[in-house]
Amino acid sequence: MTVRVRVSHITCRFLFVAASLWLNPAQADVIASVEVQGNTRTHTPAILRELSFRSGDTLNTTLVAESERILRRLLFLGRVQISTQAAGPDSVHVVVEVDDLYARALSPLFSGDAEEISAGALAVDYNLFGRGQYLQATAFDDARAGRRITTQYRNPRFGGSRIRLAAEMGWAEEGHTVSAFLSQPFFALSTPWAFGVSASSHQARTRLYRGGTLTEMYEDQRQAASAWIVRSYGDRLKIRPGIQLRVSDRTFASKSPFTYQPEDRRRVTPSLILTLWQPRYRTQRFIQYLGPEEDFQTGSSASIRIGLSAQAIGSDRGYRFASLRVAPRLAAGGWFLLTNFSIQSRWRQGGYESLLSNSSARLFGRLLAWPFTPTLAARLSLSTLSRPEDSGSQYLIGGDSGLRGYVPRRFDGSRRLTANVELRPLFVRRSGWALGGAMFADVGGAWDQEPSLHAALGSGLRLGLPRLYNTPVMRLDLARGFNGGVWQISFGLGQHF
């Protein structure tokens, strides 16, 4: 018996193409060389080390986009653009174009209102020796806490490695601060491990208020050390389990003529951490509209932490604790809704204590797509405190904390609500500065039992300096509070929220 097989021309062509692809797979472009352009003070190796690719790697557009985000996070760089040019049949030449920002600055610092002014100065070099290291010295006269001087140093590539070194030393009339951190962060999305150790010593004074009047003051001295390690899994969804061990000693002393002071404590707290995160980004300008373009994180995240404090391992008291944080983020068109909910508590002798919760939502968007149309910014925040370990724990609200038009720390309680709406027009934009404004309404209050809310209206000016250190925005507001409020001028650095 004879079997005849008929193969059509189309079938033959398909088999030929499939065989060709199998025998000669498509060649991806290889990076032949990488060139950095536009840097004047920054050393080229300091830029190349931040890239997620090297010469000889296969071109990957995802890694190119991630490298742009990494470079834009550096305070000493402005515009960042990575492009490719053909270098051969299957190779490309990568060009990294950057703009160096002013790396040294002497900036004034100020905040407060006409009744309570805090001021100082900051000297900073955030590209020390052109190697991306950071050095800052600050002198500040706080209206409440007095004078303080601090020095901060950061080296993101300690000893040429991926280890980050950060150190701080400071003296103040009411205490001191000394800290050091050695860590390897998740410097890229593909980084599998993050770990670190830290140690710190801190001394300061805590003040408690009732109806705007100082009622208690005590000294808080704390020594702490911690170590942690986190593993990262996944691509579109990052799953990051980790462990942490923290040790702390705290001592308290009342300051005359006051008598209240919390109990001294020593805590040794091992804990387990699990974080889920969607790495999503949008590059926009109007979120902080007076500054540069920024890579806005639009991916949602959630984390849970559980642990214990036990006398058997050195703590002064035993309890179990847990915390949960959920941060959904939504982006549609030119609008962003950023929400956050966190709760933490501990269990001891069959009951709970130190239950803290924070809920917030922030909305940003442009009313129209035209270049100089106003942006709308809104914030809603609620914080609660129940059965705290320290009986004097409280929330404060006033002109310095979300309720313009009222004196600082005017209201206090175990619950606090703030709601703010700002319409932010942009008047003038230039390469080195931008001038805008704000028309706003604030509502808020702090209470223990019955809710008590207060409102204020006002307007202000915003001066943005996108080529200076940390792209500062200078803020000047005039507000009038109702129901016990006053006309109040407030000022500071940064948008109100």
> Could you tell me the CATH number of the domain that includes residue 48?
3.10.20.310
Q: Which residues are bridge partners to 455 per DSSP?
A: 443
CA distance 46 to 34: 13
Domain boundary among 76, 100, 124: 100
The CATH number for 324's domain is 2.40.160
Query: Does residue 146 form part of some domain?
Result: no
- Per DSSP, the residues of 45-86 read HHHHTT-S--TTSBP-HHHHHHHHHHHHTSTTEEEEEEEEEE
Percentage of the residues of the chain whose pLDDT score is greater than 90: 61
CA distance 94 to 84: 4
291 or 108, greater pLDDT: 108
If we measure between CA atoms, which residue out of 77, 95, 40 comes closest to residue 294?
A: 77
Residue 15 has a pLDDT of 46
Looking at the fold, whether 310 and 415 belong to one and the same domain comes out as yes
pLDDT digits (tens, 9 = 90+) for 448-467: 988 999 999 999 999 988 77
Query: Does residue 379 form part of some domain?
Result: yes
Looking at the fold, whether 61 and 199 belong to one and the same domain comes out as no
Task: Give exposure, 107-118, as e/b (b: 16+ Cβ within 10 Å).
Answer: bebebbbeebeb
Domain count, the chain: 2
Looking at the fold, whether 241 and 375 belong to one and the same domain comes out as yes
Looking at the fold, whether 207 and 305 belong to one and the same domain comes out as yes
425 or 292, greater pLDDT: 425
On whether the CB atoms of residues 443 and 422 are closer than 8 A, the answer is no
pLDDT band at 285 (very low <50, low <70, confident <90, very high): low
Query: Does residue 466 form part of some domain?
Result: yes
pLDDT digits (tens, 9 = 90+) for 123-169: 989 899 899 999 999 999 998 889 999 999 999 999 888 999 999 99
pLDDT digits (tens, 9 = 90+) for 65-117: 999 999 988 888 878 999 999 888 889 999 999 988 878 877 777 777 766 78
Looking at the fold, whether 321 and 463 belong to one and the same domain comes out as yes
198 or 495, greater pLDDT: 198
Domain boundary among 73, 100, 127: 100
Query: Does residue 11 form part of some domain?
Result: no
Looking at the fold, whether 322 and 451 belong to one and the same domain comes out as yes
Query: Does residue 272 form part of some domain?
Result: yes
Query: Does residue 10 form part of some domain?
Result: no
On whether the CB atoms of residues 174 and 149 are closer than 8 A, the answer is no
Query: Does residue 118 form part of some domain?
Result: no
Give the β-pairing of 91-100 and 30-37: parallel
Residue 72 phi, psi (nearest 5)? -70, -20
Residue 397 has a pLDDT of 93
Looking at the fold, whether 343 and 250 belong to one and the same domain comes out as yes
CA distance 185 to 192: 10
On whether the CB atoms of residues 379 and 360 are closer than 8 A, the answer is yes
Domain extent for 209:
185-493
Looking at the fold, whether 91 and 198 belong to one and the same domain comes out as no
Q: H or E element: which one contains 487?
A: strand 487-493
Looking at the fold, whether 200 and 348 belong to one and the same domain comes out as yes
CA distance 344 to 326: 12
Query: Does residue 157 form part of some domain?
Result: no
Residue 40, SS3 per DSSP = coil
Domain boundary among 100, 124, 143: 100
pLDDT band at 12 (very low <50, low <70, confident <90, very high): very low
Looking at the fold, whether 253 and 350 belong to one and the same domain comes out as yes
pLDDT at 206 over 70: yes
What tokens appear for 352 in the block?
């709970």
Q: Report the mean per-residue pLDDT for the chain.
A: 88
pLDDT band at 310 (very low <50, low <70, confident <90, very high): very high
Residue 114 has a pLDDT of 65
Looking at the fold, whether 248 and 378 belong to one and the same domain comes out as yes
159 DSSP 8-state letter: G
